[in-house]
Structure 1
Amino acid sequence: MALVDPTASHLDPGMDGESGVLASVFGVLPNANCPKHGQNTPEDTKRCLRKVIGHHRDYVKISLPDAKGNRLPTEWWKTAIAFFYAIFNLVLTTVVITVVHERVPEKENSPPLPDKFFDYIDRVKWAFTVTEINGMLLVGIWVIQWLFLRYKSIAGRRFFFLIGTLYLYRCVTMYITTLPVPGNHFTCAPKLYGDSHAKMQRVLTLISGGGLSITGSHLMCGDFLYSGHTVMLTLTYLFIKEYSPRTFWWYHLMCWLLAAVGVALRCSPNNYLTNTWWNPVFNFFERNVQTQVPCSFCWPITWPPACLKNSCKKYSAVQSLREE
């Protein structure tokens, strides 16, 4: 905090360094109560200034930010909230899939929509399996990388919030718009027609198998708008790239290829974000994060305790643009 006299308009150019600092900070004019610099010693001038300062009361309080405050608080409790938010929406997705499955029209009544890609490219039977394997690899790579991040709580709650919100939107879109099956090769589980107990069993089967076809847990249709596999492939790659050194181009390229192959095989001056419903939730999670999260890593266990500080400085496209 500094105290400044708003009436102070000039200072005596004859003052030495410390006297000038005292006069400039406290706004004390070299008036008749203090001798001129040439008429007395600098020590007498300083002593006189301190005496005048003790009687000077016309101060303006200026609040300065605390430079010692933690600009990147961990706040694990917020990360836990974001985690349960993501889990809730993932479970909600399985419930909505079960409900929408009962509304999917039969292939005989509503044939698959025309698709130019599949008009020229034959279906590859093992493509969907590759997509799910790539997705599991990317998720595994991101989890390992996340464990070694120094600020894993901030990166974790960002990931959980985005995953939860995207799957919530997925629930809304596929419930509102029920598309026919994308191909005649699809085999959909039989409809249950109001059997609540059997529907609950399907929800639990989906959850236990992670909603993957390779685990045999996903035999239902209707969850085509939009693809949950594409969400996981894209988002995990973006987080892997954002929270790793830019010099690891080979690492980024490998993860990009995993995501791109999976997606291709699967799919053959105003801030308008302030008007969205999720903006207050996002601000709640990010309120105390006052700077860009640095790309630094540390051991996920207590030994060895030394963290790899400043392991990289330029690690994202956003940061590189700002520095340029």
Structure 2
Amino acid sequence: MVFTSLPVATAITDCRPDKIISFGARLKKATLIFLGQGMSSFGVKTCGDYLYSGHTCTLILATHFINEYSPRSYHILHFLSWVFALTGMFFILAGHQHYSIDILIAWVLSSRLFIYYHTLANNRTYFQRDKNRMRIWFPFFSYFEENVKQALPNEYISPKIICEARTMLNSWFDK
């Protein structure tokens, strides 16, 4: 990348600037990284230019989804989801897998993505004013939300297995 050239946060990775000249060698390296899922436990060695943490994005998006789509009365679940997300980010930093700026950028990007999407989805006036402008600036959003005429209610229904487990536990304790 042009903007940043940070080394990997771990000291065990050898980051010599190797030049891969041929297209075949580049394709082979890209295939190895793809098949190894980018993880060092599969023998993948990449150097620098992380810029954001995908693990942090996953933690933050999962936390936002839990807080948005679970009932408001589930305070303990909301609190624990943030505790787990923050703990996960701490261990990413403690394990020297990312720099703190990577974590911060991932947090900002993923939380803004979640909030902007839900703002657009819950506010239909954006579509009513200028549909063509929305299609140009937000093509994916326009495609996925095209047939939705109004903001959908945030309804929560426990999965059937949870309801059955709750009934079974209540019957055990009532005896």
TM-score tier (shorter):
0.5 to 0.7
Distance across 2 between alignment mates of 1:180 and 1:276: 37
Structure 1 residue 231: Cα displacement: 1.8
The aligned counterpart of 1:210 is 37
Larger % of helix: which? 2
The aligned counterpart of 1:279 is 138
For 1:197, which of 15, 18, 24 is the aligned residue? 24
* Unaligned ranges ≥5, structure 1: 1-174, 301-324
Distance across 2 between alignment mates of 1:212 and 1:278: 35
The aligned counterpart of 1:255 is 81
Distance across 1 between alignment mates of 2:44 and 2:74: 36
Structure 1 residue 246: Cα displacement: 2.0
User: Contact between 2:8 and 2:48, CA under 8 Å: does it hold in 1?
Assistant: no
Distance across 2 between alignment mates of 1:276 and 1:227: 30
Distance across 2 between alignment mates of 1:217 and 1:277: 42
Q: How does 1:216-255 map to 2 (within 5 A)?
A: 216-255=42-81
Distance across 1 between alignment mates of 2:31 and 2:157: 37
Task: In structure 1, give the amino acid aligned to 2:138.
Answer: N
Distance across 2 between alignment mates of 1:276 and 1:228: 28
User: Contact between 1:181 and 1:221, CA under 8 Å: does it hold in 2?
Assistant: yes
Distance 1:244 1:278, change over 3 A: farther
Distance 1:207 1:183, change over 3 A: closer
Structure 1 residue 225: Cα displacement: 1.4
Q: Deviations over 1:60-92 (max 9, x none)?
A: xxxxxxxxxxxxxxxxxxxxxxxxxxxxxxxxx
Structure 1 residue 241: Cα displacement: 2.0
Task: In structure 1, give the amino acid aligned to 2:157.
Answer: F
User: Contact between 2:36 and 2:42, CA under 8 Å: does it hold in 1?
Assistant: yes
Name the TM-score, length of structure 1 as normaliser.
0.31
1:294 aligns with 2:154: yes
Distance across 2 between alignment mates of 1:277 and 1:181: 38
Structure 1 residue 226: Cα displacement: 2.4
Task: In structure 2, give the amino acid aligned to 1:249.
Answer: H
Name the TM-score, length of structure 2 as normaliser.
0.53
Distance across 2 between alignment mates of 1:297 and 1:181: 47
The aligned counterpart of 1:187 is 13
1:178 aligns with 2:37: no
Distance across 2 between alignment mates of 1:298 and 1:257: 23
Please report the RMSD computed on the Cα atoms of aligned residues, expressed in angstroms. Answer: 3.4
User: Contact between 2:134 and 2:142, CA under 8 Å: does it hold in 1?
Assistant: no
Task: In structure 2, give the amino acid aligned to 1:296.
Answer: Y
* Unaligned ranges ≥5, structure 2: 94-98, 101-125, 127-132, 161-175
